[in-house]
Structure 1
Amino acid sequence: MESKVLAVISYDGSKFYGMQKQPNKKTIQGEIELALNKLNINSIVQHAGRTDKGVHALNQVISFTIPNFWDLNKLQTSLNKIIHPYIHIKKIKFIKNDFNPRFNAKKRSYRYIISPIFSPHKADYETYYDKKINIELLKKAIKKFEGTYDFEYFAKTGSEVNNYIRTIYKTDIIEYKNKVILKIIGNGFLRGQIRIITNFLLMINENKLTIDDLQKQLNKEQLFTKHLAPPNGLYLERIWY
């Protein structure tokens, strides 16, 4: 007999080609499935969100099935020894068999870290941006994203989804030490959505686009840009169920 478990994991996305398993590429899902196989557990890992290459996670949620004889503390320790040091299982618990980490999620939050100081030691973990940021302007701009919209113009071209309608509940821009951190909470996000939003905001900061332009693209009246900000500053922060 088998049971389903939920695990909360964190990972350094700079070492992988994203969350989702891909042929001949090192991915988080792929590495965890390999680790499970080493423990004679043949299970497909489900995940709450398909983060891109270079994107990090503080609290990604996954699920998989295990034989009933496993002790969860021992399983967590054994898996962490194999997947160390760039993936870490923070918590693991039993869950109902019909649980799906993606479709059962109610809310997700992301953060994007921008730094005015370049450091080669932090280059994979924050986005270097050498222009002065007009915090008040960007706080006003990011609030425009709050609400329910068809975000097709803020999604990667070629995204395979049934619809582009998503709700963003809360946004914020925080100054922390010398960094600027964007925070966005929503019911779900499209591929590339946070990075396209971030790039648009930085273009507003540079007076290359305006808040009116943002509203037009949000309303699908005009497409100005779908360029993505770099992945290294982006973190999947938390998922609510």
Structure 2
Amino acid sequence: MRYFIQFSYFGKAYHGWQNQPNAITVQEVLEKALSTLLREKVEVVGAGRTDAGVHAKQMFGHFDFDPIPDAEDLVYRLNAFLPDDIVVQGIHPVAADAHARFDAVERTYEYWLVKEKNPFLFDHAHFVKHYLDVDAMNKVAKILLDYTDFECFSKSNTDVKTFNCDVKEAFWTTDEEKWVFTITADRFLRNMVRAVVGTLLDVGQGKMSPEDIHQVIASKDRGEAGVSVPAKGLYLTKVLYPKEIFDEQKG
């Protein structure tokens, strides 16, 4: 049977989601825990890959295994076995052809900035000491919805067939402690969100005018966009699937 597993992790200790030969990853730790408790090798296919140091408030993966009689008990035992920075919320039977990566229709990320040095958010957000024009940053964020080709924000030498992404929302909000940038799209390119935020910070600091964003996107040149902001402020917060994925179909 095929199962979807929902989980969260704080990424500081890991070199991203995807298995690597010489570095500890979330996938490696989760697969080891599942394989140990189920007493059989288990491979988990993730909804996507996050870079080193990036966090996930909501992440999904799928794996195949014989019918699990008590999924709630397995979740309980997994959380007792896993380190404190990885938590499993649920395991759900799905259709045999359901795919955690390819069936996802939307993904949402947040990026956190702190306005003042804060010891409680040091590992959770990027500290920016300069004044930021949030209105200008929101103006540019809204412009992103008018485009689909985001090659200028993609990591160089990326093996993808297309740089097109359907950005559905992008905006900044503020509270007493931090700025939060929220962006939702059907897919994201490698390093895209961190590059977008870095570009928006250039706008907010007056290094780039809001109108310049049109030229940056049209250039398709990563060198024209802003520098990537640190990974520690980035959170995958939501992965959306068609409702029928979780109808507990068997087979």
- TM-score, normalised relative to structure 2: 0.91
1:151-170 alignment runs, 5 A limit: 151-170=150-169
- Mean Cα displacement is larger for which, 14-23 or 223-232? 223-232
Q: 1:129 is matched with which residue?
A: 128
Counterpart of 1:9? 7
Aligned residues: 239
Partner residue, 1:230 = 230
Helix, strand or coil: the match of 2:165? strand
Q: Quote the residue 2:191 is aligned against.
A: 192
Moved more, 145-154 or 229-238: 145-154
C-alpha offsets along residues 127-160 of structure 1, whole Å, 9 cap, x if unaligned? Answer: 1111122111111111111144211111111211
Counterpart-to-counterpart distance in 2, 1:179 and 1:229: 15
3-state SS of paired residue (2:65):
strand
Q: Which residue of 1 aligns with 2:28?
A: 30
Aligned to 2:62: 63
- Asked if the contact 1:54/1:232 (under 8 Å) is kept, the reply is yes
CA distance in 2, matches of 1:37, 1:231: 29
Three-state SS of the structure 2 residue aligned to 1:150 is: coil
Distance (whole Å) between structure 1 residues aligned to residue 23 and residue 69 of structure 2: 29
Deviation of the 1:62 alpha carbon: 0.9
Q: Deviations over 1:27-62 (max 9, x none)?
A: 010101111121213121111110111110011111
Aligned residue in 1 for 2:108:
109
Please report how far the alpha carbon of residue 212 of structure 1 lies from its aligned counterpart in structure 2 after TM superposition. Answer: 2.3
Q: Secondary structure at the match of 1:149?
A: coil
Shift of 1:69: 4.2
Q: Kindly provide the CA deviation profile for residues 59-96 of structure 1, in whole angstroms up to 9, marking residues without a partner as x.
A: 11111122214410111111111113010001221011
Change (3 A) 1:187 1:221: closer
Please tell me whether the aligned partners of residues 57 and 235 of structure 1 are also in contact (alpha carbons under 8 angstroms): yes
- Partner Cα distance (1:164, 1:111) in 2: 21
SS of alignment partner, residue 219 of structure 1: helix
CA distance in 2: counterparts of 1:52 and 1:69, whole angstroms: 31
Contact 1:41 / 1:67 at 8 angstroms: preserved in 2?
no
2:117 paired with 1:118: yes
Q: Which stretches of structure 1, 4 residues or more, deviate above 3 A after TM superposition? A: none
One-letter code aligned to 2:90: K
Preserved CA contact (<8 Å) 2:72 2:90: no
- Counterpart of 1:95 in structure 2: which amino acid? V
Unaligned segments of structure 1, at least 5 residues: none
Give the structure with the larger strand fraction: 1
Q: Which runs of 5+ in 2 are unaligned?
A: 242-251
